[in-house]
């Protein structure tokens, strides 16, 4: 039954990432991958909560959070930024990594 929960969670997570990207990019006047940053931070926060609460099950951790967050898009957007504005790419990478770790920590601390 885990495979079904992973599939359902993955579908919901992918849909939420898509809707978030549409909404954020509609109002994003900066040439900065804000939507990816936001979903990755949300996913990091929720993963921290999942670790703090014990196993939420594969439907949430692997399915929903795995589909919501995206490392490949993060890397592609960092590469794309680097081709025109290297400094902005570095800012994006540093902000994503540090704030992602912070969000996992905060999510964990809220639950524990």
Q: What is the pLDDT along the chain (112 residues), one digit of tens a residue?
A: 889 999 999 999 999 999 999 999 999 988 899 999 999 999 999 998 888 877 677 888 889 999 999 898 999 999 999 999 999 999 999 999 999 999 999 999 999 8
CA-wise closest residue to 33 among 21, 47, 45, 41: 21
- Please give the pLDDT value at position 96: 98
- Domain residue ranges in the chain: 2-111
Residue 56: strand, helix, or coil:
coil
- Please give the pLDDT value at position 36: 96
pTM, 2 dp: 0.86
* Distance in angstroms (rounded) separating the CA atoms of residues 39 and 5: 21
CA-wise closest residue to 104 among 54, 55, 49: 49
């Amino acid at each position: 039954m885990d495979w079904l929960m992973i599939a359902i969670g993955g579908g919901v997570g992918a849909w939420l990432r898509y809707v978030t990207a549409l909404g954020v990019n509609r109002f994003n006047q900066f040439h900065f991958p804000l939507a990816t940053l936001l979903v990755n931070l949300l996913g990091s926060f929720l993963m921290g909560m999942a670790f703090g609460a014990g196993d939420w099950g594969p439907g949430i951790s692997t399915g929903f959070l795995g589909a919501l967050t995206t490392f490949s898009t993060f890397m592609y957007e960092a590469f794309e930024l680097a081709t025109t504005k290297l400094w902005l790419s570095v800012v994006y990478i540093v902000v994503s990594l540090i704030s992602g770790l912070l969000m996992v920590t905060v999510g964990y601390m809220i639950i524990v």
